[in-house]
Each structure stands twice: as structure tokens, then as C-alpha cells.
Structure 1
């Protein structure tokens, strides 16, 4: 399993945000400059992270984004899922309705167990807090 560039960038940006004061307002421009993430990508990611509830935005004078929760309450799994969606190890367990486009679906004896694997991976990522990453 490998994180996409967007998920990787989101982790880098959230880690940079976590190093600031808890109530600090963040802008995409500042985080892009600090992290090296291209500005359009930083803007896109901040919107995704906000929509997922990891950042809160405030418009107007003194506006920007802030972390929505304390850094110890945001996990690596939260950040990855905000960008990538639910963590699933295979295509067959990635569909919420249980459907699959796999040719082996009707005969597969592994599929029922892949949810266990996905939950284990999510648990491992969930055990790493943003606070730990920011150290």
C-alpha cells in the first residue's frame, strides 16, 4: 500500500499546521510556502480537509483555517480518509453497497476476510496521532 501524492501532501500540511499554536489561523499560501506543496494543491487539500471536519474555515479579516480538533485527537487515518475516502485494501471491499466489478467476485473466498485486513490497517493508521507526527 502506498499513499497517493495528495494524501502525502495532506499529511505534510496537517503536520505543519499542528506545529502552530492551537488557535492559529492558517492560509493555503503560508502552508504551501512552508511545505513546498504547490499552492493550487494546498488550496484543494484545505477544502477537502475542511469538508471532512479536520479544519474549520473563517472568512473575512483575520480569517483562514484552523485545526478543528486538538492535535492529539486527529489521526493519520483521519487525514488519509479525508483525501482518499475509506481505507480499503482491495477494490471488492471499497464499495459501500457491497457491489464489485471483480471477475472473481462470485467465487472468491478471500473477500469476506478483506474487511478484517482493512480494519487492521485503519487501526494501525488510527493509532498514530497528528501530535506524534508533528514532533
Structure 2
């Protein structure tokens, strides 16, 4: 499993934001600090806001800040905010177009595998990534 560029960038940006908890940061400031292109940073900050990980404020002195303590935000939270639910295979959460779908003996267990992977990612807290 490999993170997409968007998920990777989201982790980098959230880690940068977590280094200054409570402080409001603009998309341009985070883009400059992290090297994430500004349009991508703006898109990610909106997605992270919709997921409840960032809180945005418009106007003078506006920007984004963490919605929760860095210890309460996990790597799984960030990845799912950008990529959706963590699933190891296409069939792990329902019917798929796989040729093996109707007689696969592994499919019933793939949900468990996904839960274990999510659990491992959930155990890594944003606070740890800032150290």
C-alpha cells in the first residue's frame, strides 16, 4: 500500500499545522512552509476542514487551525479525510467487478485486514509526527 500524493501532502501539511497548535495559518503560508503547491494546499485544507480536522475562519486574521489537539488526530483520520475509507482491496466493502468475486475464499477476510491496517494507522498520532 502506498499513499497517494494528496494523502502524503495532507500529512505533511497537518504536521506543519500541528507544530503551532491554536495558531491560524493561511493556505499560502502552509504551502510556502511545506513546498506543497498553493492550489493543492487550498484544496487539501478545504477537504481537511470538511472532515473536521481543520477549522477555517474567513476575513482579516483568518486562516485555518487544528480542530482538535494533535494527540487526538491520527494518521488514519488524515488519510481518510483525503482518500475516503481505508480498504485494502476493491471487494473488501461490497460487490466488485473482480472475476473471482463469486467464489473467492479470501474476500470474507479482507475487511478484517483493512481494520487491522486502519488500526495501525490510527495508533500513529499527529503529535508524534511533529517530534
Q: Distance in 1 between matches of 2:22 and 2:129?
A: 19
- 8 Å Cα contact 2:73/2:125 also seen in 1: yes
Count of matched residue pairs: 131
1:59-85: per-residue Cα shift (whole Å, max 9, x none)?
Answer: 111111110000000000000000110
Deviations 1:45-72 (A, max 9, x none): 0000001110011111111111000000
Match of 1:14 in 2: 14
Task: Tell me the equivalent position of 2:73.
Answer: 74
Unaligned runs of 5+ in 2: none
Matched, 1:124 2:124: no
TM-score, with structure 1 as normaliser: 0.95
2:129 aligns to what?
133
Q: Secondary structure at the match of 2:64?
A: strand
Unaligned runs of 5+ in 1: none
SS in 1 for 2:65: strand
Aligned-partner Cα distance in 1 for 2:9–2:110: 27
Alignment of 1:29-44 (within 5 A): 29-44=28-43
SS at match of 1:107: coil
**Aligned twin of 1:56:** 55
**SS in structure 2 of the partner of residue 128 of structure 1:** coil
